Amino acid sequence: MNTTTVIVGSSIGGVRAAQSLRLEGYEGEIILVGEDPELPYDKPPLSKSVLAGKAEESSIRLLTREQAEDAGIQLLLGHAATGIDVAGNLLQLQDHEPVRFDHLVIATGASARPSPWGQRPGIHVLRSLDDARKLRTNLLKGGTLAVIGAGFIGAEAAATARSLGLEVTVIDPLPIPMSRIFNPEIGHWFGDLHRNNGVTTIFGTGVESIDGEQGSFTLRLTNGANVEAATVLVGIGAVPNDAWLGASGLLVDNGVVLDEYCRAVDAPHIYGVGDVARWRHEKHGEDIRIEHWTNAVEQAACVAYNITHPQSPRAYTPVEYVWSDQHDWKIQVVGRVGGNAEHIIIGHPELHGRFAALYTTDGVNLRGAAIVNWPKALLACRRGMGTGVTIQELREKLEPLLDPQPLAAS
């Protein structure tokens, strides 16, 4: 019997779900639906090499028409999904008749949180290829770039703008950047990283309003100061694209809510992957949603497996992983880090040009790690997270690799 799997969302999660279905031997029809009329493309380079002009747009294509055809993936691009008739197995689309499915994969991702200070030319967000093109065009005009939000995307765009020779000011209401993710010591190092690379940082201060027009904005800050900028980038996080599910009856709570096998809790033939998916992580014992590239890929593979192995589905229990490139730092975060979790830090950014912060909840076992410029440490931590390793074992392995050697072990 021929079945049909419809995948909604034509970015990394959706494309990998389609490819993984074929890899698992799925022989039914696969229809990949996307709102964006562009052929599927990858997002991480949008704040890095594509924004810098170092990579061609063609290099970030995830799927060409030819590859789609070879893999038997039908593309239905330029049509937003507007709803699901769950009982009738129909996906409703904008400007298109409804599409019938046996399985549906929701991979609609997230959108940049819109600017609360007005949306007009020169005030940018960065999520789509079109966003990146527009921002780059304005960066090339020169002048100061003001970045609101020192999270991953804001920080990466700031670094890229510096590499293009622009003056850059980064503003964040958190007194210590990245302190929602890392402990304060590392947060301070992030601040130093920006300043050492010529970025002006204003932390612990919010933005009240943005006056003026493209080319000559004035940002009024909550501390009374003003910042002048030609271009503004608002990087204040993302929100899951789940509003279109409103009338479907599926449970939505900051993302579509899924069980441990990534099936909608109220419709087991509907699955979710990527930034839009909130699923039950059995090992963490909670429902979580992750906005990272590797998660979209791994979750897509798991969903493809579960669609093709209905008798023996796999629970999805990944170890979190994200990377970020800022100035000359390659930052990699594995597992769960930060907050007030107990940690040790091996290496120092100024002394060694690299470091690894190892986090533990029970004082013994590795629970997560933040690693900068240190491939060996990254690998040891990623492997160790899988097999179970103590932070002492890692210290004994990694510390001898440092040059100069730490004076006294603490």
Q: How far is the CB of 16 from ligand FAD (least distance, A)?
A: 8
Cβ pair 227, 169 in contact under 8 A: yes
Residue 151 binding partner per list ligand FAD, other proteins, none, with a CB distance cut-off of 5 to 8 Å that depends on partner kind: none
Residue with tokens 């100035």: 327
156 bridge partner residues: none
Q: In the bound complex, what is the minimum distance in angstroms from residue 114's beta carbon to ligand FAD? A: 14
CB 204 within 8 A of CB 115: no
Residue nearer to ligand FAD on the CB measure, 46 or 398: 46
**Pairwise CA distance, residues 227 & 195, whole Å:** 17
- Asked if residues 207 and 224 have their Cβ atoms less than 8 Å apart, the reply is no
Closer residue to ligand FAD in complex, CB, 322/357: 322
Q: Which residue lies nearer to other proteins by CB, 44 or 149?
A: 44
Binding site for ligand FAD (CB under 6 A): 8-14, 33-36, 43-44, 46-47, 80-81, 107-110, 126-127, 153, 241, 244, 274-275, 291-294, 296, 322-324
In the bound state with other proteins, the residue whose beta carbon lies nearer, of 170 and 370, is: 370
Side-chain-side CA neighbours of residue 85 (13 Å): 11
Of these partners, other proteins, ligand FAD, none, which one is at the site of residue 11 (CB under 5 to 8 Å by kind)? ligand FAD
By a kind-dependent CB cut-off of 5 to 8 A, residue 375 interacts, out of ligand FAD, other proteins, none, with other proteins
Which CB atom, from 55 or from 221, has the smaller least distance to ligand FAD? Answer: 55
H helix count then E strand count, the chain: 10, 27
Give me the sheet containing 216-221, strands edge to edge.
207-213, 216-221, 226-229
Residue 85 binds which of ligand FAD, other proteins, none (CB < 5-8 A, kind-dependent) = none
User: 173 to each of 8, 87, 116, 219, 337, how far by Cα in Å?
Assistant: 35, 46, 14, 14, 21
What's the closest the beta carbon of residue 319 comes to ligand FAD, in angstroms?
Answer: 13
CB closer to other proteins, 32 vs 148: 32
Residues contributing to the site for other proteins (CB under 8 A): 16, 19-20, 23-24, 44, 293-294, 297-298, 301, 321, 323, 330, 332, 375-376, 378-379, 382-383, 386
Residue 334: CB minimum distance to ligand FAD, A = 12
Contact predicate 334/384, CB 8 Å = no
Q: Which does 143 bind (CB under 5 to 8 A by kind): other proteins, ligand FAD, none?
A: none
Rounded to a whole number of angstroms, the minimum distance from the CB of residue 132 to ligand FAD is 7
The CB-of-44 to ligand FAD minimum distance in angstroms stands at 4
Q: What H or E segment, with its residue span, contains residue 70? A: helix 65-70
Residue among 165 and 386 whose Cβ is closer to other proteins = 386
Binds 84, which of other proteins, ligand FAD, none (CB < 5 to 8 A, cut-off by type)? none
Q: In 3-state terms, what secondary structure has residue 230? A: coil
What's the distance, Cα to Cα, between the start and end of the chain in Å? 65
For residue 378, the minimal CB distance to other proteins (Å) is 6
> Is 57 exposed, middle or buried, given 0-12, 13-18 or 19+ CB atoms closer than 10 A?
middle
Nearest to 77 by CA among 166, 9, 151: 9
- Nearest distance in Å: CB 323, other proteins: 6
